[in-house]
Structure 1
Amino acid sequence: MSDTLILVPAGIDTYRQPVVYMREDCHICRAEGFASQTRVRIDLRDRWVIATLNVVAHDGWLAVDNAALSISAWSALGARPGDRARFSHPEPAGSASKVRAKAYGERLNERDFASIIRDTLENRLTDLDLAAFITACAGNRLDGTETVALTRSMQAAGETLDWGGRSVLDKHCVGGLPGNRTTPLVVAIVAATGQLIPKTSSRAITSPAGTADTMEVMAPVTLDERALRRVVEAEGGCVIWGGALNLSPADDHFIRIERSLDFDSTGQLVASVLSKKAAAGSTHVLIDMPVGVTAKVRSAEAAAALSALFLRVGEAIGLRLAVHLSDGTAPVGRGIGPALEAADVLAVLRRRAEAPLDLRARALDLAAHLLDLAPGGVPGEGRARAEALLDSGAAEAKFLAICEAQGGFAEPKLAPHRIELPAPCQGIISAIDNRVIARVAKLAGAPRQKVAGVLLRVQVGDRVSKGQPLYEIHAATPGEAAWAHRYAEQHADALSIAQGPR
Structure 2
Amino acid sequence: MTERHDILPLVPADIDTYRQPVVYMREDCHVCRSEGFGTQSRIEIEVEGKRIIATLNVITGGDWLPQETAALSNTAWEALALQPGAVGRFSHPEPPVSASAIRTKVYGGRLDDAACRAIISDTIQRRLSDLDLAAFVTSCAGDRLDEAETIALTLAMRDAGVRLDWGRGPVLDKHCVGGLPGNRTTPIVVAIVAAAGHLIPKTSSRAITSPAGTADTMEVMAPVALDQAAMRGVVEAEGGCIVWGGGLDLSPADDMLIRIERPLDFDSEGQMVASILSKKAAAGSSHVLIDMPIGPTAKVRSYAAAKALSDRLQAVARALGQTISVNRSDGSAPVGRGIGPALEAYDVLAVLRRSPQAPADLRERALDVAGALLELVGTNGRQLAGELLDGGKAEAKFMAICAAQGGFTEPGEAPQMQPVNADRAGRITAIDNRRIAKIAKLAGAPGRKTSGVLLRTRVGDTVEIGQPLFEVHAETQGELAWALDFTASRDSPFRVEDAP
Work out which of the residue numbers 220, 224, 236 in structure 2 matches 1:221. Answer: 224
The total of aligned residue pairs comes to: 497
For residues 62 and 292 of structure 2, what CA distance do their matches in structure 1 show? 55
Work out which of the residue numbers 240, 245, 248 in structure 1 matches 2:248. Answer: 245
Mapped contact 2:295–2:331 kept (Cα < 8 A): yes
Instruction: Measure how far apart 1:46 and its partner are.
Output: 3.0
Q: Does 1:394 align with 2:393?
A: yes
- One-letter code of the match for 1:87? F
**Greater shift after overlay, 44-53 or 219-228?**
44-53
Corresponding residue for residue 462 of structure 1: 461
Three-state SS of the structure 2 residue aligned to 1:218 is: coil
Work out which of the residue numbers 222, 244, 254 in structure 1 matches 2:257. Answer: 254
Provide, for residues 326-363 of structure 1, a one-character-per-residue CA deviation record: whole Å limited to 9, x for no partner: 00000000000101001100010011111100000000
- One-letter code of the match for 2:117? A
Three-state SS of the structure 2 residue aligned to 1:50 is: strand
Identical columns (%)? 64
Provide, for residues 138-171 of structure 1, a one-character-per-residue CA deviation record: whole Å limited to 9, x for no partner: 1000011110000000001111101114210000
- One-letter code of the match for 1:400? M
Instruction: Measure how far apart 1:86 and its partner are.
Output: 1.1
Three-state SS of the structure 1 residue aligned to 2:94 is: coil
Corresponding residue for residue 235 of structure 1: 238
For residues 255 and 383 of structure 2, what CA distance do their matches in structure 1 show? 38
Mapped contact 1:417–1:476 kept (Cα < 8 A): yes
Corresponding residue for residue 316 of structure 2: 313
Mapped contact 1:25–1:58 kept (Cα < 8 A): no
Work out which of the residue numbers 77, 86, 90 in structure 2 matches 1:83. Answer: 86
Q: Does 1:354 align with 2:353?
A: no
Corresponding residue for residue 153 of structure 1: 156
Q: Does 1:363 align with 2:366?
A: yes
Mapped contact 2:462–2:499 kept (Cα < 8 A): no
For residues 353 and 218 of structure 1, what CA distance do their matches in structure 2 show? 21
For residues 303 and 499 of structure 2, what CA distance do their matches in structure 1 show? 31
Corresponding residue for residue 472 of structure 1: 471
Corresponding residue for residue 486 of structure 1: 485
Q: Does 1:126 align with 2:122?
A: no
- One-letter code of the match for 1:57? T
Three-state SS of the structure 1 residue aligned to 2:25 is: strand
Mapped contact 1:417–1:474 kept (Cα < 8 A): yes
Q: CA RMSD in A?
A: 0.9
Instruction: Measure how far apart 1:246 and its partner are.
Output: 1.0
For residues 404 and 264 of structure 1, what CA distance do their matches in structure 2 show? 36
For residues 187 and 291 of structure 1, what CA distance do their matches in structure 2 show? 23
Mapped contact 1:247–1:280 kept (Cα < 8 A): yes
Mapped contact 1:206–1:263 kept (Cα < 8 A): no
Provide, for residues 398-422 of structure 1, a one-character-per-residue CA deviation record: whole Å limited to 9, x for no partner: 0010001001111100111111100
Q: Does 1:335 align with 2:334?
A: no
For residues 45 and 61 of structure 2, what CA distance do their matches in structure 1 show? 21
For residues 48 and 472 of structure 1, what CA distance do their matches in structure 2 show? 51
Three-state SS of the structure 1 residue aligned to 2:193 is: helix
For residues 187 and 426 of structure 2, what CA distance do their matches in structure 1 show? 35
Q: Which runs of 5+ in 1 are unaligned?
A: none
Corresponding residue for residue 54 of structure 2: 51
Within 5 Å, which residues of 2 pair with 1:60-459? 60-374=63-377, 377-378=378-379, 381-459=380-458
Three-state SS of the structure 2 residue aligned to 1:141 is: coil
Three-state SS of the structure 2 residue aligned to 1:485 is: helix
Q: Which runs of 5+ in 2 are unaligned?
A: none
Three-state SS of the structure 1 residue aligned to 2:492 is: helix
Mapped contact 2:343–2:450 kept (Cα < 8 A): yes
Mapped contact 2:341–2:451 kept (Cα < 8 A): yes
Instruction: Measure how far apart 1:384 and its partner are.
Output: 1.1
For residues 389 and 290 of structure 1, what CA distance do their matches in structure 2 show? 25
So what's the TM-score if we normalise by structure 1? 0.98
Q: Does 1:37 align with 2:40?
A: yes
Instruction: Measure how far apart 1:58 and its partner are.
Output: 4.7
Three-state SS of the structure 1 residue aligned to 2:365 is: helix
Mapped contact 1:445–1:475 kept (Cα < 8 A): yes
Three-state SS of the structure 2 residue aligned to 1:493 is: coil
Instruction: Measure how far apart 1:109 and its partner are.
Output: 0.8
- One-letter code of the match for 1:106? G
Instruction: Measure how far apart 1:122 and its partner are.
Output: 1.4
